[in-house]
Amino acid sequence: MTATSEPEAALGVLPRADGSAKYSHAGYTVTAAVNGPIEAQRKDENPYEAHVDVIVRPAAGVGGTRERHLESILQSSLSHIILIKNFPRSLIQIVLQVEDSPENDYVNTKLVQGNLNFAIMPALFQTAVLALLSAGVPMRATATATAVAVVFHDGVKRTVVDPSPREIEIARSVHVLAFTSHDELLLAESEGDFIVKEWDEVYETAKKICCHSAPADDGMQMALDEEAAAGPDMRHFLRSTMESKVAADLYWK
């Protein structure tokens, strides 16, 4: 069972950007900058809605095909929660800088550079959402994401939340899912071999992590509910992070 460390976030870390966030969880640290709505370039101008541009930069090396793939997935999912129809012909620019990732072991003396692991996607997604909230970009809902791996160990199948690099290496399949604050499935990407039943279990696990938000005074229930302790409570984390930020901003009231 992976030790689920609690996620950490800091908002407004980049003073010159409209919004920014630094997020770390499960060994991944990502900093995001959001600028917008600003003027879009001619080629990206859309007369009905804003263009969302996502740029992913790995820690070491320059980005490659893998980064472009992650960018396009993030762009389509974030475009769904941002109210892009409010800003035609504009650009919402999101830059994600990877600062730290867990797989830094030297595999056969060759550092795996610029080749981002699929499992970094929830961290990228979450940082982007936090930075958008920090910038005050109008959205229709917030969203939370998580990674789940299906691992076969000694013939026993396990669904692992926030898999470590070692677990990803031996996993049969790895999945990344994101849900909006209205419990809608926003993003579902998978790699590997799996059957539909396995995906359903992954879905249920991810939904619990992303959508389950324990009510504040439900103490006894939480202690008995073992499954709720399987991973971090993403929604609660998001809400408490934003509550601190709003309280700080409105200190004068």
Token output for 155: 């013939």
CB of 67 to other proteins, least distance (A): 11
DSSP annotation of 217 reads: T
* Mutual angle of helices 234-249 and 121-135, in 10-degree steps: 30
CB 51 within 8 A of CB 90: yes
Closest alpha carbon to 129 in 34, 246, 212, 211:
34
| Per-residue interface string for the shown chain with other proteins, residues 142-181, x marking contact by CB under 8 A | x-------------------------------------xx
Binding-site member from 5, 6, 8, 38 for other proteins (CB under 8 A): 38
| Per-residue interface string for the shown chain with other proteins, residues 46-85, x marking contact by CB under 8 A | ---------x-x-xxxx------------------x-x--
Could you give the 3-state DSSP secondary structure of residue 76? helix
Q: Could you give the CA distance from residue 92 to residue 137 in angstroms, rounded to a whole number?
A: 9
CB 73 within 8 A of CB 18: no
Check binding of 136 to other proteins (CB under 8 A). yes
| Per-residue interface string for the shown chain with other proteins, residues 3-32, x marking contact by CB under 8 A | -----------xxxxxx-----------x-
CB of 204 to other proteins, least distance (A): 23
Could you give the 3-state DSSP secondary structure of residue 51? strand
Token output for 59: 């820690």
Interface residues with other proteins (CB under 8 A)?
14-19, 31, 33, 35-39, 41, 55, 57, 59-62, 81, 83, 86-88, 93, 95, 97, 99-100, 104-106, 109-111, 113, 133, 135-142, 180-182, 238-239, 242-243, 245-253
